[in-house]
Chains A and B, each alone.
Chain A
Amino acid sequence: MSHEKTRAAAFPVDRNDAELIRGAHPPHWRNPDPTGPYNLVVIGAGPAGLTAAREAASLGAKVALIERSLIGGVCINVGCIPSKAVIRTARLYADMRDAGNFGGDTPKHVRVDFQRAMTRMRQIRQRISRADSAESLASGGIDLYFGEARFSGPDSILAAGQTLHFRKALVATGAHARLPTIPGLTEAGYLSNETMFDLAECPRRLLVIGGGQLGCEMAQAFCLFGANVILAQRDPMFLPGEERDAAQILSDALAREGVEVRLNTEVVAVRTVGGKKLADLVRDEETTTISVDEIVTGIGRSPNVDGLDLENAGVVYDANGVKVDDYLRTTNPRIYAAGDVCLEHKFTHTAEATARIVVRNALFFGRGKLSELVVPWCTYTDPEIAHVGLYPTEARQNGVPVKTYTVLMHDVARALTDGEEEGFVKIHVREGSDRILGATVVAAHAGEMINAVSLAIRSGMGLHALADVIHPFPMQAQGIKMAADAYRRTRLTSFWKQLAGRWLAWSRR
């Protein structure tokens, strides 16, 4: 995407970015000279590639890591890290405006300094990227190559003009933003996660296309920065696949903060007139045209499989990515894949978890399985929406009877003291047992709270036992325990109540 059509500056924007580049892709880096075959060659230095390379190297493997752009991948450079930094500042402005609700005084004029927010984001991004700088990887015993990588055979890769032979290889090339096919969008210019963090000023009017995780997070953040945001979503609710009630609460929160929510709405055409971008929105056969300064999109993520010459290595892939079995092995038994390039759930933490499985399976005869992972995820809106395990619909479709124990956050004392009572905890168990199938938490800190349930599922702990876990009081995570307490109460059948009543009556005599 060219920068001329948007108000995004060219990367690097400031000295923080320049410093980031010095660590993540040093301009005068000299690639090593390969000597003999590698135990593991990793393509892509994002979360999956970095985890695999570091873990393998720490165990004594001879490891090569190839990166064509910046170390850190999407997560650090244009994904999780910058978005969370921006969201934090956006929340600050929300809190300033909401000060009265917390017993404080709302400043008379809340002036948003967008540039300062973005500078803070770049500082933080640069600071975090230091941990995985080129120097630190090299000093960790990893042969780091910058340049394009392509397979030249079933056991060899051409990296920046040099041939690397491997016993095992890992494809960890990640994914990129997928554009909706809207006539005129490319010509008019748009922002995706790859360009929006280079914005120099906050757009006055912003159209966000797509109500997925990124769309909802950014719509809310830019709204809190003062932009007039229109969020257009084709489906009848946001976060497709997420629980209806969670999407409902998010939809209400966005609307309350001023986001113009357009559900069941499709953007069918975009054009530029007089420096403004005009977008045609269709809902139930009705077309409306809106005028905006910028358009943010990226309705999903497509795997980075082009240019790797995977065919030369006999690695099968399609539009959904590299095909892997449950052990993360591709159709070439020497080559594995991990992270966004092969996974349905494209998250940093799943990328890292699958990379660890690959190191064990590829180098040490491990039998770790993708299907055994317990993967939580979180949408970092306010409130956050976190999920782990099965949804009730998935369980029911597999013939598993489900019961959900729900606690509203407005019944959690700490949520009230914090003024964060929006949301709920829902823990799904197999009906008639305490086996936890999954959970959804909608709360200000849902991402932190879901970990207790992930741990319980991973360790085979039932909801009954979870009720015995003592939480410091008051904490918002008390909501998890309250759901477990609700389970216990329903297990107290009338028979046991009668029995207990008789015993206590007898003991009073």
Chain B
Amino acid sequence: MLKVDPTSLSDDDLLDRYQQSAFDYFLENVNPDNGLVADTSRPNSPASIAVVGFALSCYPIGVERGWMAREAAAKLTLAALRFFWTSTQGNGDDVTGHKGFYYHFLDMRTGRRVWRCELSMVDTALLMAGVLVAGAYFSSDGEDEREIRELAEALYRRVDWRWAQGRTPTLRQGWKPKSGFLHYGWEGYNEATILYVLSMASPDSPSSDDSYVGWTATYQWENIYGYDVLYGGPLFMHQFSHAWIDFAGIRDAFMREKNSDYFENSRRSTYLHRDYARRNPYGYGGYDENLWGLSAGDGPGGFRASIERRPHRFSGYAARGAPFGPDDGTIAPWSCLASLPFAPDICLAALRHLGDRYADVIDNFRLPSGFNPTLANRRKFGRHGWVSEGYYGLDQGIVVMMIENHRSRLIWGLMRSNQHIRRGLGKAGFAGGWLSQPASPAPGGRDVA
């Protein structure tokens, strides 16, 4: 429930509330001893390395917004960087990482692999993106901040991206100690641009020069609902890499061919999700022009049910997408905020609608991973249907970062001046726009490479 009437707030005040509430997730769910941040706020949740990447990116925002002291931010950042630098690497079972990559989920206290999860390439990339933000932001000559810069550089350089290609041009999705690389790679556009940019930029063990082209060869340029888009079903695919890199005006070979760019593509994809919800082909509850946004997130669980004589199958945590599915009526309410820089008008309208119509699913301006109004008053669910319990760090992190990019472009500015990012973009074939201008020191940061 919202404690303040959101209709009385200006757009900027409203965004400020949502952003700070999302930011607080990290302070509430961090282990200050090792900087690890829980994947979710649920009891006994392990840490997610991607969530740590988001946390490292959010601390500078917290400092700039006055929500935490710079020293405190540096301390948490340093705890995380020291942990990753000193944690055990190796090809055994009971370690934290291997070849400079890290296991997707780690024990919050010991930092060791849990759930027999995979060594994750894209989640390591999200972690490294956060590491580079920290290195760029903490630019003072103080001892802590100097160590942050040194560790950030060392951690990034240690990742053996070339190894992660296996014997293929594209990067593998994951690796496990017993079975080796997962047998499937990346196909089609998704959130992995940041992975390729970071891997190609590596000074010591970059992925091969053809790796990005190998991935983009699987892209599909489509005209859907009248929009020309590079399709990616769930909205997070159009948001995650964009949290760090401003893709407006810069183009790779694919976008030059299509006379577009990835920022514009995310804008169109956001509209496409809205138009899908307007059509609402499965007749799900609540879907309309102001309630939309399918993404990866929590769901009501795996069961089948007939709703108004139509058979449906519901899922637990899953990547949901539009217009090709899967879609079980579960909305990821944070996904409209994460598209804010691309399509502010419709995202703000959706946010206000959410506050007006579904205030009960929002706890003091913090958004759950998902909710499903189709299940309203069915099974054991209440009047808004199923609502995800607790909160997910990924959702909160992308909300904090994208609101900030919309408000001040802080993270984009920091990364624009980062030589690793610029080099990676260049090697992937990106040119034009801000890349054709020399790097300038970013607000609050310095060039570390």
Q: Do A and B originate from a single complex?
A: yes
Which B residues, 285 to 341, have Cβ-Cβ distances below 8 Å to chain A?
A: 304, 309-313, 321, 323-326
A409: nearest residue on chain B (CB-CB)? B281
Contact of A410 among B116, B217, B281 (CB under 8 A): B281
Q: List 18 A-B contacts (CB under 8 A).
A: A98-B311, A236-B184, A244-B187, A244-B188, A248-B233, A248-B325, A256-B311, A256-B313, A264-B184, A284-B116, A284-B176, A284-B179, A286-B116, A392-B219, A403-B228, A410-B279, A411-B279, A426-B222
The distance in angstroms between the C-alpha atoms of A256 and B327, with both chains bound, is: 11
**In contact, A101 and B309 (Cβ under 8 angstroms):** yes
0 or 1 for each of A88-111: is its CB under 8 Å from B? (1 = yes): 000000000010110000000000
0 or 1 for each of B96-118: is its CB under 8 Å from A? (1 = yes): 00000000000000000000101
Q: Is A187 an interface residue (CB 8 A)?
A: no
**In contact, A396 and B219 (Cβ under 8 angstroms):** yes
Q: Is B220 an interface residue (CB 8 A)?
A: yes
Q: Is A235 an interface residue (CB 8 A)?
A: yes
**In contact, A486 and B326 (Cβ under 8 angstroms):** no
0 or 1 for each of A342-382: is its CB under 8 Å from B? (1 = yes): 00000000000000000000000000000000000000000
Contact of A408 among B183, B221, B231, B281 (CB under 8 A): B281
Contact of B184 among A235, A249, A256, A426 (CB under 8 A): A235
The distance in angstroms between the C-alpha atoms of A431 and B311, with both chains bound, is: 39
Chain B nearest CB, measured from A245 CB (Å): 4
A234: nearest residue on chain B (CB-CB)? B183
The distance in angstroms between the C-alpha atoms of A484 and B222, with both chains bound, is: 13
Known: A236-B184, A424-B324. A404 touches B221 (CB 8 A): yes
The distance in angstroms between the C-alpha atoms of A435 and B391, with both chains bound, is: 49
Listed residue (B183, B223, B231) with the most chain A CB atoms within 10 angstroms of its CB: B223
0 or 1 for each of B231-272: is its CB under 8 Å from A? (1 = yes): 101000000000000000000000001100000000000000
B302: nearest residue on chain A (CB-CB)? A255
Contacts of A402 in B (CB 8 A): 220-221
**In contact, A486 and B222 (Cβ under 8 angstroms):** no
The distance in angstroms between the C-alpha atoms of A408 and B224, with both chains bound, is: 8
Contacts of A476 in B (CB 8 A): none
Contacts of A244 in B (CB 8 A): 187-188
Chain A nearest CB, measured from B187 CB (Å): 6
Contact of B326 among A236, A252, A284, A285 (CB under 8 A): A252
Q: Is B178 an interface residue (CB 8 A)?
A: yes
Chain B nearest CB, measured from A483 CB (Å): 9
Contacts of A393 in B (CB 8 A): 217-218, 220
**In contact, B116 and A249 (Cβ under 8 angstroms):** no
**In contact, A406 and B223 (Cβ under 8 angstroms):** yes
Contacts of A252 in B (CB 8 A): 313, 325-326
Q: Is A397 an interface residue (CB 8 A)?
A: yes
Contacts of B310 in A (CB 8 A): 101
Chain B nearest CB, measured from A197 CB (Å): 28
The distance in angstroms between the C-alpha atoms of A101 and B310, with both chains bound, is: 6
Contacts of B325 in A (CB 8 A): 248-249, 252
6 A-B pairs with least C-beta separation: A410-B281, A100-B309, A245-B324, A404-B222, A256-B313, A236-B184
The distance in angstroms between the C-alpha atoms of A286 and B176, with both chains bound, is: 11
Which A residues, 241 to 299, have Cβ-Cβ distances below 8 Å to chain B?
A: 243-245, 248-249, 251-252, 255-258, 264, 284-286
Chain A, interface size category, equals 35 or more
Q: Is A490 an interface residue (CB 8 A)?
A: yes
0 or 1 for each of B169-208: is its CB under 8 Å from A? (1 = yes): 0000000101100111001100000000000000000000
Q: Is B226 an interface residue (CB 8 A)?
A: yes
**In contact, A404 and B220 (Cβ under 8 angstroms):** yes
**In contact, A489 and B313 (Cβ under 8 angstroms):** no
Which A residues, 401 to 450, have Cβ-Cβ distances below 8 Å to chain B?
A: 401-406, 408, 410-411, 421, 424, 426, 431
A402: nearest residue on chain B (CB-CB)? B221
The distance in angstroms between the C-alpha atoms of A393 and B324, with both chains bound, is: 18
Chain B, interface size category, equals 35 or more
**In contact, A255 and B176 (Cβ under 8 angstroms):** no
Contact of B257 among A285, A401, A406, A408 (CB under 8 A): A401
The distance in angstroms between the C-alpha atoms of A258 and B312, with both chains bound, is: 10
The distance in angstroms between the C-alpha atoms of A100 and B307, with both chains bound, is: 11
The distance in angstroms between the C-alpha atoms of A243 and B183, with both chains bound, is: 18
A486: nearest residue on chain B (CB-CB)? B223
A394: nearest residue on chain B (CB-CB)? B217
Known: A256-B313, A264-B184. A490 touches B218 (CB 8 A): no
Chain A nearest CB, measured from B267 CB (Å): 18
The distance in angstroms between the C-alpha atoms of A258 and B231, with both chains bound, is: 28
The distance in angstroms between the C-alpha atoms of A486 and B313, with both chains bound, is: 32
Contacts of B281 in A (CB 8 A): 408, 410, 421
Contacts of A401 in B (CB 8 A): 257
Which A residues, 140 to 158, have Cβ-Cβ distances below 8 Å to chain B?
A: none
**In contact, B228 and A406 (Cβ under 8 angstroms):** no
**In contact, B217 and A285 (Cβ under 8 angstroms):** no
The distance in angstroms between the C-alpha atoms of A364 and B323, with both chains bound, is: 51
Contacts of A100 in B (CB 8 A): 309
Chain B nearest CB, measured from A116 CB (Å): 25
The distance in angstroms between the C-alpha atoms of A439 and B213, with both chains bound, is: 24
Contacts of A490 in B (CB 8 A): 223, 228
Chain B nearest CB, measured from A493 CB (Å): 12
The distance in angstroms between the C-alpha atoms of A100 and B219, with both chains bound, is: 40
Contacts of B257 in A (CB 8 A): 401, 431
The distance in angstroms between the C-alpha atoms of A289 and B65, with both chains bound, is: 54
The distance in angstroms between the C-alpha atoms of A401 and B221, with both chains bound, is: 9
**In contact, A285 and B116 (Cβ under 8 angstroms):** yes
Chain A nearest CB, measured from B210 CB (Å): 12
Known: A244-B187, A431-B257. A396 touches B217 (CB 8 A): yes
**In contact, A284 and B118 (Cβ under 8 angstroms):** yes
Chain B nearest CB, measured from A430 CB (Å): 12
A424: nearest residue on chain B (CB-CB)? B324
Known: A256-B313, A284-B176. A248 touches B326 (CB 8 A): yes
The distance in angstroms between the C-alpha atoms of A237 and B219, with both chains bound, is: 17
A432: nearest residue on chain B (CB-CB)? B257
A251: nearest residue on chain B (CB-CB)? B326
**In contact, B323 and A408 (Cβ under 8 angstroms):** yes
Contacts of A397 in B (CB 8 A): 217
B311: nearest residue on chain A (CB-CB)? A256
A247: nearest residue on chain B (CB-CB)? B324
**In contact, B312 and A256 (Cβ under 8 angstroms):** yes
Contacts of B324 in A (CB 8 A): 245, 248-249, 424
Chain A nearest CB, measured from B268 CB (Å): 13
Given A257-B311, A490-B223; 5 other pairs, CB 8 A cutoff: A101-B309, A101-B310, A284-B118, A284-B182, A403-B223
Which A residues, 221 to 239, have Cβ-Cβ distances below 8 Å to chain B?
A: 234-236
**In contact, A285 and B179 (Cβ under 8 angstroms):** yes
**In contact, A285 and B184 (Cβ under 8 angstroms):** no
Contacts of B187 in A (CB 8 A): 244
Contact of B220 among A98, A286, A392 (CB under 8 A): A392
Chain B nearest CB, measured from A267 CB (Å): 15
Contacts of A489 in B (CB 8 A): 226
Chain B nearest CB, measured from A149 CB (Å): 41
Contacts of A264 in B (CB 8 A): 182-184
The distance in angstroms between the C-alpha atoms of A487 and B231, with both chains bound, is: 17
Listed residue (A251, A285, A487) with the most chain B CB atoms within 10 angstroms of its CB: A285
Chain A nearest CB, measured from B255 CB (Å): 12
Chain A nearest CB, measured from B276 CB (Å): 9
Chain A nearest CB, measured from B166 CB (Å): 16
The distance in angstroms between the C-alpha atoms of A236 and B291, with both chains bound, is: 31
Chain B nearest CB, measured from A104 CB (Å): 10
**In contact, A256 and B279 (Cβ under 8 angstroms):** no
The distance in angstroms between the C-alpha atoms of A393 and B183, with both chains bound, is: 19
Chain B nearest CB, measured from A280 CB (Å): 15
Contacts of A406 in B (CB 8 A): 222-224
The distance in angstroms between the C-alpha atoms of A236 and B182, with both chains bound, is: 10
Chain B nearest CB, measured from A100 CB (Å): 4
The distance in angstroms between the C-alpha atoms of A397 and B217, with both chains bound, is: 6
Chain A nearest CB, measured from B158 CB (Å): 26
Contacts of A404 in B (CB 8 A): 220-223
The distance in angstroms between the C-alpha atoms of A135 and B107, with both chains bound, is: 75
